[in-house]
Amino acid sequence: MNIVVCVKQIPDPADPPAMDEAKGTLNRNGKLIMDDSDSYGVEMALQLAEQAGGGEVTLVSMAPNNETSGLRTALAMGAAKAVLISDEALAGSDALSTAKVLARSVERVSPDLVIAATESTDGYTGTTPVQLAELLGWPSVTFAKKISIADGKVHVQRQTEVGYDDVECPLPAVVTVTAGVVEPRYPSFKGIMAAKSKPVDQLTLSDIGLEASQVGAAGAGQKVTSVEAAPQRASGDIVVDDGDAYQRIVQFLQELKLV
Amino acid sequence: MTIDRILVIAESNDGQVLPASLELLTEARSISGKVDAIAWGKDTASLAAEVGSYGAGRLFDVGDIGESLPGPYVASVIATIVNSENAPSIILAPTTYDCRDIIGRLSVKIDRPVITNVVGLDQEGDTISSSHVLFGGSQIATAQFTGQMPWIFVVKSKTFTAEPSNGQPAEVISMQAGDLGTTANASIVSHHVETQSGPKLDEADVVVSGGRGLGSQEAYSMVEELAELLHGAAGASRAIVDSGWVPYSRQVGQTGKTVKPTVYIACGISGATQHLVGMKGAKNIIAINKDQEAPIFSVADLGIVGDVHQIMPKLIEAIKGLA
Ligand SMILES: Cc1cc2nc3c(=O)[nH]c(=O)nc-3n(C[C@H](O)[C@H](O)[C@H](O)COP(=O)(O)OP(=O)(O)OC[C@H]3O[C@@H](n4cnc5c(N)ncnc54)[C@H](O)[C@@H]3O)c2cc1C
Ligand SMILES: Nc1ncnc2c1ncn2[C@@H]1O[C@H](COP(=O)(O)O)[C@@H](O)[C@H]1O
């Protein structure tokens, strides 16, 4: 069972990047880390490969400046190797351009299964993985809260508005996972040391056979036209509970004629 | 490029079009006189009256797709429509599980980008600007397409208000998906409903939500009880969804539901920016939190600094007493 996990490397959400108002894109010059949302996919892939009794977990990532720090975290968790696409022409890529790049990278590995997160922390379009599936010509199952593999099929509990559906899908396929699908492990010291020497295949656009005009800002077909401060909501009465503060809530609801 | 036809994805459940799709039909008819809808399922034709009454002239019917996931089928049919004389200038989809699947596949099939997480649309002549919430609602960005039509927008629910226009039933046009290869090979084996009584979270007039401050899964029953007494819905922060206390369908926030009730009551929720974007649009906000510095108080009309375990039982008893 060979599995590819899409790993997005993003600025630390605890230290968010500023919007570059002139360019209308996010400033992504600082160090990047693995998107927390992808740690679930990495863990799930490691467990599925182990249950299948063998096979490798390969990471694919598209990131600026040959950034590998986020990939090293996932390699330290136990992934075997990574494919990284980095190219100046990719700046300003939208989800579709990203999916085109990821599709070419996945094709180099030809896995049985691709796992991505339902949505990324910084972009949260939630469309990249399905675009990737369509580019590969594969089925996809999004919003997985549980995954198992049996008889060449992936079985997924897929979240719905009212609960979940059991979905069955032949491989190869793309599956997106939600937080909570598994508990990601912390990399061990040994894992961190081992990750330093694991192979990261660093490629450019021409290596994967894409033209600069098809991707990046050139291929995006959309632009940010303004960024403004949102109107603030004024805060109201703050009351410290003395045992009777619940009455203030009752009164408030009565004024709204809700009780 | 001039804005002509608009195609709205009319997702339905139990024979009823989702409110989020009705909201988009309402918005579509304020932009253009030519609005079409597309739907899939067993008895799609029965939706013709409903989408028609919200302004759709025609309803493209993908037909019964059995237990398959809709993404590949609906995307294929929309691609056919895009390549016909019925080509829309704009495609509007609600932010739902299935519509995101449809749009992802469509975007590849017709090689067009998508603008997602839309919370507003503004038309000026032949341009449309979409608005987006950034950094947990502290900033609003606007975006535009610069390339070829159709322009695809995926819009958050409650962005617009659904209003019927008393239009005639839409003309039903049967469509057939093209060759889907293996892309449609995923199928639903069984459905599981985690019971939820009362109004839906994103439609309720009162929403009572609980967070990690409740301390335990058992304490969430106070949230449910209060919601029921107020004829409202129970919601949650992501922290307790991730902990498995409540299903994801209850999550309010950036990656959950957007709610705009008359009153939102946050119990033991800190008010992280990702939570605030989902509920800041409530007309009134009440917060109970033991930490005076909790950010939820910055948006609360009434904030009670105190322990949910002290306050909620008394509140529930008092409201029962009024009934
Ligand atoms: C990409 C991304 C998307 C996200 N999307 C969402 C989303 O859609 N929705 C969402 O909610 N979050 C979302 N989050 C998570 C968000 O950042 C917060 O982690 C989460 O909202 C915190 O939940 P909480 O308020 O329940 O928990 P905490 O932040 O732990 O807050 C608990 C609060 O309870 C109070 N408290 C403790 N004990 C008591 C008591 N006895 N009585 C009263 N008060 C008490 C504490 O003072 C504290 O303020 C997202 C995060 C990321 C990175
Ligand atoms: N640049 C990228 N590199 C690797 N994976 C990505 C990248 N962008 C998106 N993904 C994957 O697609 C998921 C959804 O991303 P998004 O469409 O941005 O919400 C992410 O959580 C990742 O798993």
Q: What are the pLDDT digits (tens) for A238-259?
A: 999 999 999 999 999 999 999 8
Residue A121 confidence (pLDDT): 87
Whether residues B105 and A235 touch (CB distance < 8 A) is answered with: no
Q: Does any CB of chain A come closer than 8 Å to the CB of residue B68?
A: no
Q: Give the per-residue pLDDT at B9.
A: 98
Bigger pLDDT: B38 vs A233:
B38
Question: How much is the pTM?
Answer: 0.91
C-alpha distances (whole Å) from A31 to each of A15, A16, A61 are 11, 11, 15
Q: Which ipTM value was assigned to this complex?
A: 0.90
- Please tell me the predicted confidence (pLDDT) of residue B323: 73
Name residue A170's beta-bridge partners. Answer: A153
The neighbouring-strand residues paired with B110 are none
Residues 114-133 of B with CB under 8 A from A: 114-117, 129, 133
pLDDT at B263 (0 to 100): 97
Q: Does A197 touch chain B (CB under 8 A)?
A: no
The answer to whether the CB of B193 falls within 8 A of the CB of A162 is: yes
Ligand nearest to the CA of B277: 1
Q: Closest-CA residue in chain A for B249?
A: A161
The residue with tokens 């998508």 is: B114
The residue among B296, B209, B297 whose CA lies nearest residue B252 is B209
What's the confidence (pLDDT) of residue B32?
Answer: 95
Q: What pLDDT, in 10s, does the model give residues A28-53?
A: 567 899 999 999 999 999 999 999 99
Amino acid (1-letter code) at residue A111: P
User: Is A156 or B194 the better-scoring residue by pLDDT?
Assistant: A156
Residues 181-200 in B contacting A (C-alpha not used; CB under 8 Å): 181-194, 196
pLDDT at B134: 79
State whether the beta carbon of A100 lies less than 6 angstroms from ligand 2: no
Please report the number of interchain residue pairs, chain A to chain B, with beta-carbon separation below 8 angstroms.
263
The pLDDT value given to residue A122: 85
The per-residue pLDDT string of chain B (323 residues; one tens digit each, 9 = 90 and over) reads 899 999 999 999 989 999 999 999 999 999 999 999 999 999 888 999 999 999 999 999 999 999 999 999 999 999 999 999 999 999 999 999 999 999 999 999 999 999 999 999 999 999 999 999 877 677 899 999 999 999 999 999 889 999 999 899 999 999 999 999 999 999 999 999 876 678 889 889 999 999 999 999 999 999 999 999 999 999 999 999 988 899 888 999 988 888 999 999 999 999 998 899 899 889 999 999 999 999 999 999 999 999 999 999 999 999 999 87
pLDDT of residue A25: 66
- The rounded distance, in Å, linking the Cα atoms of B201 and A85 is 41
pLDDT (tens digit per residue) in A176-206: 998 878 889 999 999 999 999 999 999 999 9
**Cα B166 to the chain's mean position, in Å?**
24
Q: What is the rounded average pLDDT for all residues in chain A? A: 92
With CB atoms and an 8 Å threshold, state whether B304 touches A239. Answer: yes
Question: Residue A22: what pLDDT?
Answer: 67
pLDDT, tens digit, 9 for 90 and up, residues A66-98: 999 999 999 999 999 999 999 999 998 999 999
Q: Which ligand is nearest to the CA of B219?
A: 1
Q: Does B113 touch chain A (CB under 8 A)?
A: yes
Check residue A26 and give its pLDDT.
64
Instruction: State the closest ligand 1 atom to the C-alpha of B215, by its place in the atom list counted from 1.
Output: 38
CA–CA distance, A33 with A18 (Å, rounded to integer)? 17
Backbone angles phi, psi at B97, to 5 degrees: -55, -55
Q: SS3 letters for chain B?
A: CCCCCEEEECCEECCEECHHHHHHHHHHHHHCCCEEEEECCCCHHHHHHHHHHCCCCEEEECCCCCCECCHHHHHHHHHHHHCCCCCCCEEEEECCHHHHHHHHHHHHHCCCCEEEEECEEEEECCEEEEEEEEHHHCEEEEEEECCCCCEEEEECCCCCCCCCCCCCCCEEEECCCCCCCCCCCCEEEEEEECCCCCCCCCCCCEEEEECHHHCCCCCHHHHHHHHHHCCCEEEECHHHHHCCCCCHHHEECCCCECCCCCEEEEECCCCCHHHHHHHCCCCEEEEEECCCCCHHHHCCCEEEECCHHHHHHHHHHHHHHHC
- For B106, phi then psi, to 5°, come to -60, -45
Length of chain B: 323
Over the Cα atoms of chain A, what is R_g? 22
Give the Å distance between the CA of A126 and the centre of ligand 2.
Answer: 8
